[in-house]
């Protein structure tokens, strides 16, 4: 299904917002908030459009826009602890926004933000954000930023490796299930084949028995007919013999006068 012009513009703006969210922004950066507001308007228009996307894509778009809104609201908080807590409740998108992405960009932003909030909390607990000197504070901030970036990259690689391992495990399980299904299908096919052979033999034996029964019935009928014919001839012979005997008796012994 071809994408509408509105959906193409929405995807481009969403990809731009995710790219901006992954970068470190200053306090005077206002473009991302305006872009997210424009995304909300475009998403509302997509939902009302006649050529709107499939429900799964529309749900993922909504998740990504809500994630960006929650990310902006979390960044407005002053305490690193509150930021980290708000970041825990964010739900990034599940699928990549563009075809060039291997994983969802919102998931990457979520991991980077989580690592940044964790670094800020650690710095706050260790007292690295105290204002003991402008030069020392700037140096510590640079070191903290470099450390956060390295930690974020390490956590991202760990998460990606974990997802890769899960995908491999799922692929192996699916392959095992497919193999078991194939074996079960072959076993069921063999059983059905044997049943068909048994049924064919039974039908053949039934036909043979029917032919034998038919032959025996014909023989019995012929035998019955022959028996009746012999009995009839015997009775006729006896009647004729009696008749002739009566005539001879009358001739031999005439009537007395």
Closest CA to 60 of 18, 20, 106: 106
Per-residue confidence (pLDDT) for residue 239, from 0 to 100: 92
pLDDT tens digits, residue range 216-240? 888 888 777 666 677 778 888 999 9
Look up tokens 């933000």; give the residue. 113
Do residues 96 and 103 lie in contact, with contact meaning Cβ atoms separated by under 8 Å?
yes
CA–CA gap between residue 249 and residue 212 (Å, rounded): 55
More confident residue, 139 or 3: 3
pLDDT tens digits, residue range 163-192? 778 888 888 888 888 889 999 989 999 999
pLDDT tens digits, residue range 7-42? 888 888 888 888 887 776 665 567 878 888 888 888
CB burial of 111-142 (b: ≥16 within 10 Å; e: otherwise) equals bbbbbbbbbbeebeeeebeeeeeeeeeeebee
DSSP state of 3: P
CA angle 157, 162, 165 (to 5 degrees): 125
Listed in sequence order, the residues at least 6 apart from 129 whose beta carbon sits closer than 8 Å to its beta carbon are 123, 137, 140
Q: Please, what is the average pLDDT of the chain?
A: 78
pLDDT greater than 80 at residue 254: no
254 φ/ψ angles, rounded to the nearest 5 degrees = -70, 170
pLDDT greater than 50 at residue 131: no
CA distances from 24 to 5, 64, 112, 165 (A): 31, 19, 10, 30
- Half-sphere exposure (Cβ direction) of 220: Cα atoms closer than 13 Å: 6
Do residues 86 and 134 lie in contact, with contact meaning Cβ atoms separated by under 8 Å?
no
User: At 12, is the secondary structure helix, strand, or coil?
Assistant: helix
Per-residue confidence (pLDDT) for residue 191, from 0 to 100: 92
pTM: 0.43
pLDDT tens digits, residue range 91-109? 777 777 776 666 677 778 7
Mean pLDDT of 156-166: 76
Give percent of the chain above pLDDT 70: 80
More confident residue, 34 or 131: 34
- Half-sphere exposure (Cβ direction) of 180: Cα atoms closer than 13 Å: 6
Confidence band, pLDDT 50/70/90 cuts, at residue 129: very low
Look up tokens 């038919």; give the residue. 214
Per-residue confidence (pLDDT) for residue 96, from 0 to 100: 76
């Amino acid at each position: 299904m071809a994408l509408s012009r509105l959906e193409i513009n929405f995807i481009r703006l969403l990809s731009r917002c995710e790219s901006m969210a992954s970068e470190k922004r200053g306090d005077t950066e206002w473009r991302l908030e305006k872009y997210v507001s424009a995304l909300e308007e475009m998403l509302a228009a997509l939902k009302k459009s006649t050529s709107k996307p499939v429900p799964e894509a529309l749900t993922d778009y909504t998740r990504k826009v809500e994630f960006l809104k929650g990310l902006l609201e979390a960044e407005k908080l002053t305490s690193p602890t509150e930021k980290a807590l708000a970041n825990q409740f964010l739900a990034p998108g599940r699928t990549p926004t563009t075809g060039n992405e291997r994983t969802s960009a919102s998931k990457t932003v979520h991991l980077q933000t989580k690592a940044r909030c964790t670094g800020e909390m650690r710095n706050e607990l260790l007292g690295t954000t105290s204002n003991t000197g402008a030069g020392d504070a700037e140096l510590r901030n640079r070191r903290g930023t470099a450390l956060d970036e390295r930690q974020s990259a390490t956590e991202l690689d760990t998460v990606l490796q974990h997802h890769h391992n899960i995908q491999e495990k799922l692929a192996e399980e699916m392959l095992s299930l497919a193999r078991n299904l194939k074996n079960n299908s072959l076993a069921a096919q063999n059983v059905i084949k044997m049943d068909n052979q048994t049924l064919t033999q039974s039908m053949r034996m039934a036909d043979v028995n029917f032919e034998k029964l038919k032959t025996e019935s014909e023989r019995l009928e012929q035998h019955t007919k022959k028996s009746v014919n012999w009995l009839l001839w015997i009775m006729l012979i006896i009647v004729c013999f009696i008749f002739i005997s009566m005539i001879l008796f009358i001739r031999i012994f005439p009537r007395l006068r």
